[in-house]
Amino acid sequence: MREPSPETEVFGVLAEFERPEQLVEAVRMTRRSGIRAFDAYSPYPVEEMAEAIGFDENRLPWLTFAGGCLGAVTAFGLQVWTNHAYPIEIGGRPIIAWQPFMLITFELTVLFAVLAAVFGMLILNRLPRLHHPVFDVDEFHLASSDKFFLVVFSNDEHFDKAKTQRFLEGLSPVRITVVEHTEEPA
């Protein structure tokens, strides 16, 4: 177990596990203990993980819906305004004929919905974040190949470095590492 140097702030405590079942059980135990500021990392999606973490985020679908509605209103409104501002009367066709407006309305609905989804996802995930303190842990590169990690962040209201280390040791990890808070590289 690597200890942080005295002049740095602790970012969290990281536990490494061999199998996904161990990580899911560790996450469940962590939630039962009252800890809420934690995250889990695995090399591939683990089906039970979202439920174990308590992930019930539903803001992104609403952002996408709002973006689609904004796109539809923008497209339809722009076409109505254009036909009123620059009327071209052809063969008795009404100035506001909604049927020809639907193609552009559909296209902008999809465009705005997709843009809202992409930018909403980036903002909600606080991306792009080019550096994260767990990247400084030597073994963390294994999270993209064959190891599973659980980190308890120091901003949790129940966080105490020694107690958190003891709690994580009780979950039988391969190793526990104290993660130092580092500044993003310039």
Q: Where are the domains of the chain?
A: 10-57+131-180, 59-124
What pLDDT, on the 0 to 100 scale, is given for residue 95?
Answer: 86
What pLDDT, on the 0 to 100 scale, is given for residue 35?
Answer: 95
Phi, psi of 58 (to 5 degrees): -135, 25
Amino acid letter for position 175: R
> Which pair of structure tokens corresponds to residue 91?
């063969």
State whether residue 40 is helix, strand or coil: strand
What pLDDT, on the 0 to 100 scale, is given for residue 90?
Answer: 82
Binned average pLDDT, 10 residues per bin, the chain of 186 residues: 61 96 96 94 94 90 98 97 90 86 97 98 88 90 94 93 95 95 61
